Structure 1
Amino acid sequence: MKKILNLLPIFTFFIFYRFYDIFIASKSLIFISGLTCLLYWIIYKEIDKINLFSFITIAIFGSLTIIFHNSQFIKWKITIIYMIFSVILFISQFFMKKPIIQRFLEKDIKISDLYWKKINFFWALFFLFCSILNIYVALCLPEKIWVNFKVFGLSFLMFLSILITSIYINFKMLKEK
């Protein structure tokens, strides 16, 4: 159920963009993101920090897109989110005792600190790469291509990175046994 709730806003945005335009799609994105947070609260009695952060950025950048009738605002949203994730991961990599990814997953996954640092660094670079790539696509290519890239391209890159990380973790867990 959580996966469906997480995917609902992006696919709603895509559908409304296809049938209307980026401004109607932005309105639908704000509404569905807010509704998703509400459903999280009703079903799970909590709202994930990432979902709340995502809703806030969607509300801000979506509203700016609508108010100023300028699609550049919504195009920058994912770049800013990914940049923030990247910075947080880099900070945890170099200035904290444990990388942030390790803090979230170490209860369930037992691998050495060295591997956690590598995974954390990989994800920091991944988010940095995706944020830069998004800006390139948003600024240099037509809007329709950006929407497809945002929905399918970034989703594919995320899936691929999760797959690579999972394979790496499984390999390292087997190696450490």
Structure 2
Amino acid sequence: MSYSKKISKNLINMRKIIFHMAIRLFLNYLPTLSLCTVYQGYNLIFSMKIFIIMLIISFIIKIILYKDSYLTHTINFIILMTLSFLTLIFKKKSFLQLQNTIFYGVFSILAIFSQIFMKKTMIQTFGEKKIDIPKKHWKIMNIIWSVFFIISSIINYYLICKIHNKIWNKYKIFAFPIVCIIFFLLTLIYIFFIKKKKNDKCNSQGKD
């Protein structure tokens, strides 16, 4: 395969990854978006019922479309359903607000565990079927994402404890998704340059 074709193939793969990640992001935030929208005009109980319905729909769609991430989606679903029912029972929104803190905390712990004790990092397990890069770079990305989720978990908890609910809503709906998208795009750029460097090396060796 020629150098230009390799670059073209990498770009096509990147577009596919961006497209699928956009769908995943939308499905992840669909329940929360529905909750925050409905909550503007209705009480917490009714809003939570809508949230649970959208959560189930979103979970089913993700399981059908993305079977490779079944474990992550299931863990997230169980955490959210548990917190949703606690919110309905005790009628306190704070239970649901803790979902980011709990989920990203668990995610970062699992990622760090895989970094130390397992042959493959958690990030590599999720992405190696679609992206072919050296193992050391998977380890680097695993550490970076672990730190990112730890920081996200702490920020979410701080906002719940110290800041008004309206600011948390704006953070949850607007700020955090934008930060995730930027962070993900930076990761893709990093992967692209790794693959480009690898292709350049192969191309130069072929000429020799």
TM-score (norm 1): 0.88
> Gaps (5+ residues) in structure 2?
1-19, 200-208
Worse-superposed segment, 161-170 or 106-115: 106-115
Structure with the bigger RCO (C-alpha within 8 Å, sep 6+) is 2
Task: Give the Å deviation of 1:23.
Answer: 4.2
SS at match of 1:121: helix
> What pairs up with 1:112-123 in 2 under 5 angstroms?
112-123=134-145
Q: Is the 2:44–2:91 contact (alpha carbons within 8 Å) kept by the matching residues of 1?
A: no
Larger radius of gyration: 2
Aligned to 1:155: 177
Aligned Cα root-mean-square deviation (Å)? 2.3
Aligned to 2:102: 80
Task: Give the Å deviation of 1:112.
Answer: 1.4
Aligned counterparts of 1:44 and 1:112: Cα–Cα separation in 2: 27
Aligned counterparts of 1:98 and 1:45: Cα–Cα separation in 2: 20
SS at match of 1:19: coil
> Gaps (5+ residues) in structure 1?
none
Aligned length: 176
Task: Give the Å deviation of 1:8.
Answer: 2.2
Q: Is the 1:23–1:66 contact (alpha carbons within 8 Å) kept by the matching residues of 2?
A: yes
Aligned to 2:149: 127
TM-score (norm 2): 0.76
Aligned to 1:97: 119
Aligned to 1:35: 57
Of the three residues 147, 156, 159, the one matched with 1:137 is 159
AA of the residue aligned to 2:129: K
Percent identity between matched residues is: 32
4+ residue runs over 6 A deviation: none
AA of the residue aligned to 2:100: I
